[in-house]
Amino acid sequence: MVVEGKDAEQMAKEHKEISISEFFEKNRHLLGYDNPTRALLTVVKEFVDNSLDACEEARILPRIWLEVKPTTSDRFRVMVKDNGPGMLDKRIPKTLGKLLVGSKFYKHIQSRGQQGLGTKGAVLYAQLTTGKPTTIISSTGNGKTSFYELMIDVKKNEPKIISHKYVEDGRKWHGLKLEMEIEGRYVDSRTGVPEFIKEVAISNPFADIIFDGPEGRMEFKRGTNELPPLPKEIKPHPYGVELGIFRRMLQDTSSRSIKTFFMNDFTRVGSTSANGICEVAGIDPKISPKSVDRETTEKLFKSMKKAKLLRPPTDCLSPLGESIMLSGLKKEIEGEFFSAVTRPAAVYRGEPFQVEAGIAYGGKLPEDQAVEVIRLSNRVPLMYQKGDCAITKAVEKTNWKSYELKQSGSNLPRGPAIVMVHFASTWVPYTSESKQAIASYPIIIKEIKLALQEAGRRMKSYVIGKRKFEMRQKRRKKFERYIPEVAETLNKITNEDKQLIKAKLQKKAKEVTGVKISG
């Protein structure tokens, strides 16, 4: 009997058990569950992202029903229901009940849930805080509905099915309903759930969203039937890969030689470039990637960074586009003028990215307040770490005085406006693991500023036009106010027809204060 010794398999298993539950516990702050307020927002965010992603991929105009209701003073029932494609019955447990930390780590695609634990993390958080399973109801439109109550077996990192039914009910529907009870705290502030939902509605105007919260129901109606194009997955560009990832790529590749590894696993590396990289590193291009030692890896990594390569393709990105942005702003903001600008794609450190900016101006927006900045990263609103974010910095560095807003120094401008910036990229460079602020690379700041300036110019010409119009109106009003006095007086002196004088002067007043049409 072996009492003290453990075999390798057992050890590995134990190690895994510890790592997954501990990983979550220790990294709650990185994963968006650091406090009850944030945790509630994160769950909502994961649910909404999941639904939007599923609908978009299936090219379905999303309809999302979200419920957040308190069950006790510190617990909430969170429910989301969508009209997405639904999930295959047998795939539900694996998809929602098995943690694959960093599963999207290599994936170079612009997606909402770029990193992190997604819905699975929410399932785990629910079970950790309330001990209750997550309820899943789904159908793919085949007349059958799946019912699951699911937990995660943390030790095995496997789904734990509490109950399961797969019923042929003949209902022709497709979609997914998730429901769970979690510990949380609800706030209605700039970083709260309602603001998040509002910003989601602005950035996803093709979605119908109903939010039934503790304070009642809010409806965000769809503003456009246009879906943005699907982003495409690309292979990483050598300039954007970090050493650790490069090392893992060498391990995981199915390519047989270093040369084909470079050509197959990266974008923009052809036969000549691959040979060049190997040559500079002093490595035989024919050796197997798996045989490369630590020292050689570093040599290859350095020479790869120095290679002259084309910039990565940018058609893999899916910006919202000007018309979708405008529709989002118009439907949720009671402004009077809207402008939206989509910049051409650019590249930072081998990653393609694209900046879009929108401005809503005037109307019912408050006159003398710092403008509100809506920050979107791959269409998802960023709610925290405003001050660290490249978007905030770029807004502050833009000279808004040239665009008819007030601004003192390098502060947020003041005036009746809301500024929205969308940063789309295959890989968003966050400043920290909590992924709420975009890193301030100079090229990123520059692109954001260019987008803001263009949107600002359009706003300015509107404001100036409006001011001119108002001035003309004011002039006309003045003339029109005096016309009866003048007509009356002239009539008194000369006995000329008062109405005729009045009519002639009124006609002239319109003429001299009207828009001048040239040509």
Partner 1 sequence: MVKKRGENTSKKIFEFAEGIVEQIKEEKKPKMKIPVRSLSNVEWSEDKGVLTLGNKKSNRYFFNVGHARKFMQTLLIASFCKDIVDENIHASIRDMYYNLKHSIGDSKENTFEEQSESDPLIVDIETALNLLREQLHLLADRKGVVVGNVKVRDRGDVIDWSKLGSGGWSIPSVVEDIEFVDVDADFALVIEKNAGFERLHEDKFWRDYNCILMGTGGQPARGTRRLIRRLAEEHKIPIYVLTDSDSYGWYIYSVIKSGSMALAHASDKLATPSAKFIGLTITDIMEYKLEKSIIRANDRDIKRAKEMLDYPWFQEKEWRRELKLMIDKRIKAEIEALSSRGLKFLTDTYLPEKLDKKEFLP
371's enclosing H/E stretch is: none
Q: Which is nearer to partner 1, 58 or 503 (CB)?
A: 503
Residue 464 CB, nearest approach to partner 1 (Å) = 19
Q: Which is nearer to partner 1, 106 or 479 (CB)?
A: 479
Contacts 24+ apart (CB under 8 A), 474-483: 475/512, 475/513, 476/509, 476/510, 476/513, 479/505, 479/509, 479/512, 479/513, 480/506, 480/509, 483/509
Contacts of 482 (CB under 8 A, 6+ apart): none
Q: Which is nearer to partner 1, 162 or 471 (CB)?
A: 471
Q: Which is nearer to partner 1, 27 or 506 (CB)?
A: 506
Contacts of 337 (CB under 8 A, 6+ apart): 359, 360, 361, 362, 363, 459, 462, 463, 466
Contacts of 204 (CB under 8 A, 6+ apart): 52, 62, 328, 379
Give contact residues for partner 1 (rule: CB under 8 A).
Answer: 475, 478-479, 481-482, 484-486, 489-490, 492-494, 496, 500-501, 504-505, 507-509, 512
Best CA proximity match to 260, nearest among 248, 250, 271, 252: 271
Query: Looking at this protein, which amino acid is placed at residue 12?
Result: A
Residue 480 CB, nearest approach to partner 1 (Å) = 9
Residue 362 CB, nearest approach to partner 1 (Å) = 25
Is-contact 182 125, C-beta < 8 A? yes
Residue 59 CB, nearest approach to partner 1 (Å) = 58
Angle formed at CA 377 by CA 372 and CA 382, multiple of 5 degrees: 50
Residue 491 CB, nearest approach to partner 1 (Å) = 9
Q: Give dist(CA 82, CA 47) in Å, integer.
A: 10
* Residue 459 token pair: 């706003």
Residue 489 CB, nearest approach to partner 1 (Å) = 4
Q: Which is nearer to partner 1, 248 or 508 (CB)?
A: 508
Q: Which is nearer to partner 1, 166 or 469 (CB)?
A: 469
Q: Which is nearer to partner 1, 290 or 504 (CB)?
A: 504
Measured CA to CA in angstroms, residue 64 lies from 19, 52, 126 at distances of: 35, 8, 21
Q: Which is nearer to partner 1, 230 or 512 (CB)?
A: 512
240-246-252-253 Cα dihedral, nearest 10 degrees: 70
Residue 446 CB, nearest approach to partner 1 (Å) = 44
Residue 517 CB, nearest approach to partner 1 (Å) = 18
